[in-house]
Amino acid sequence: MAAQKPVIACNSGGPVETVKNGTTGYLCDPTSRDFALAMAKFIQDPRLAESMGIEARQHATESFSTKIFGQRLNRYIVDVARSKKD
């Protein structure tokens, strides 16, 4: 996603939390048929791949950058510290 490319991934584990199905890529059952159908969509409509790639890049930047990670980690630490005071 950071490379401004849509993702095709299995619909389990980490990808379920990171890929927005139909927006930043496709989540598929772990079969060659499902992956082939997802790839075919991009081959048949290159503009779809481009627009989903733009969405993927934006999602990656807004959700997974080191800056965002640092902000979330800081918030977590502050919340833990506050709960210790209570």
pLDDT digit string (tens) for 31-51?
A: 999 999 999 999 999 999 999
pTM of the model: 0.77
| DSSP E strand boundaries for the chain | 7-10, 25-28
pLDDT digit string (tens) for 48-81?
A: 999 999 999 999 998 888 888 898 899 999 888 8
Contact 19, 60 (CB under 8 A): no
